[in-house]
Structure 1
Amino acid sequence: MLQTLQRSKTKSGAAYVDSGSGDEVLVLIHGVGMRIEAWGPQIEQLSKRNRVIALDLPGHGLSAPLEGRPDLSNFVTWLASVIDELELGAVNIAGHSMGALITTGMAATAPERLRRIALLNGVYKRTIAARQAVEARAGEIFTGAFDREAPLGRWFAPDEANTDAYRLVRALLQEVNAEGYAAAYRAFATGDTLYCDCWPFVTCPALFLTGDGDPNSTPEMAKDMAEAAQNGRTAVIRGHRHMVNLTAPEEVTAALDNWLTWAA
Structure 2
Amino acid sequence: MSWPLHLDVFGAESAPAVVLLHPIATRAEAWRLQIPVLARRFRVIVPDLPGHGRSAALPPGAALHDYAAAVLLALEPLGLREFSLAGLSFGGMVAQAMALAAPSRIRRLVLAHCGAVTPAPVRAVWQQRVADAQAGGMAQQVRPTLDRWFTPDFLARAPATTDWIGRMVADTSVTGYTTAVHAICGLDHIASLGRLEMPTLVIAGQQDRAVSPAVSQALAACIQHAELRLMADAAHMSHVEQAATFTETVDAFLSP
- 2:219 maps to 1:228: no
- Determine what percentage of the aligned residue pairs are the same residue: 26
- 1:143 Cα offset (Å): 5.8
Q: Which has the higher mean CA deviation after the structures are superposed, 46-55 or 127-136?
A: 127-136
Matches within 5 A, 1:107-126: 107-126=99-118
Distance 1:157 1:48 in 2: 30
Matches within 5 A, 1:154-193: 154-162=148-156, 163=158, 164-188=160-184, 190-193=185-188
Q: Which amino acid aligns with 1:180?
A: G
Q: Is the 8 A contact 2:47 2:71 kept in 1?
A: no
- 2:10 maps to 1:19: yes
Distance 2:45 2:167 in 1: 23
Q: Residue 6 of structure 1 corresponds to which residue in structure 2? A: none
Distance 2:78 2:133 in 1: 33
Q: Is the 8 A contact 2:112 2:203 kept in 1?
A: yes
Q: Residue 250 of structure 1 corresponds to which residue in structure 2? A: 244
Q: Deviations over 1:222-261 (max 9, x none)?
A: 2222222111011110111111101111010011111113
Matches within 5 A, 1:28-39: 28-39=20-31
Identify the match of residue 233 of structure 2 among 226, 236, 239.
239
- 1:145 Cα offset (Å): 5.3
- 1:12 Cα offset (Å): 4.9
Q: Is the 8 A contact 1:115 1:205 kept in 2?
A: yes
Distance 1:71 1:148 in 2: 23
Q: Which has the higher mean CA deviation after the structures are superposed, 107-116 or 221-230?
A: 221-230
Matches within 5 A, 1:1-264: 12-21=3-12, 22-142=14-134, 146=138, 147-149=140-142, 150-162=144-156, 163=158, 164-188=160-184, 190-193=185-188, 195-261=189-255
Query: TM-score scaled to structure 2, two decimals?
Result: 0.90
Distance 1:134 1:67 in 2: 19
- 1:174 Cα offset (Å): 1.7
Q: Which amino acid aligns with 2:247?
A: T
Gaps of 5+ in 2: none
Q: Is the 8 A contact 1:139 1:186 kept in 2?
A: no
Query: TM-score scaled to structure 1, two decimals?
Result: 0.87
SS of the residue 2:141 aligns to: coil
Gaps of 5+ in 1: 1-10
SS of the residue 2:221 aligns to: helix
- 1:208 Cα offset (Å): 0.4
Q: Deviations over 1:16-51 (max 9, x none)?
A: 111002531000110110011110111111001110
Distance 2:59 2:119 in 1: 30
Q: Is the 8 A contact 2:190 2:222 kept in 1?
A: no
Distance 1:258 1:223 in 2: 21
- 1:148 Cα offset (Å): 2.3
How large is the RMSD of aligned CA atoms in angstroms? 1.9
Aligned residues: 250
